Amino acid sequence: MKELIHVYEQEDQAVNEKIQKFIQNNPDVTYSKVNSDSDVELFRYYAMKFPVIEYPLFLGYVNGDLQDGHIGFGTEMVLSSLIN
């Protein structure tokens, strides 16, 4: 199972459109969003586990194991590299 977790503070329409394209091109990936306002507890969990000062943060998991992470928005190739 492949999962991409998107941890963010503010909604960004341009980022959302690129992620939607990524999801369409990678139907085997489960995509989850964690927002600082609507998912406070979960956001705090990730913020404490991965103490970064810039968001968005993307985390790629394969079979429950963290493969890689990326700070800031990346291209479809960068997002793919997190889960492959």
Quote the number of domains for the chain.
1
* Alpha carbon distance 18, 6 (integer Å): 13
* Alpha carbon distance 83, 55 (integer Å): 19
DSSP string, 31-65: EEEEETTTSHHHHHHHHHHS--SSS-EEEEEETTE
CATH number for the domain that contains residue 32: 3.40.30.10
Q: Digits of tens for pLDDT over the chain (84 positions)?
A: 999 999 999 988 988 899 999 999 999 999 999 999 999 999 999 888 888 888 999 999 999 999 999 999 888 999 999 998
Residue-number span of the structural domain to which 70 is assigned: 2-81
Place of tokens 């979960």: 42
* Alpha carbon distance 31, 29 (integer Å): 6
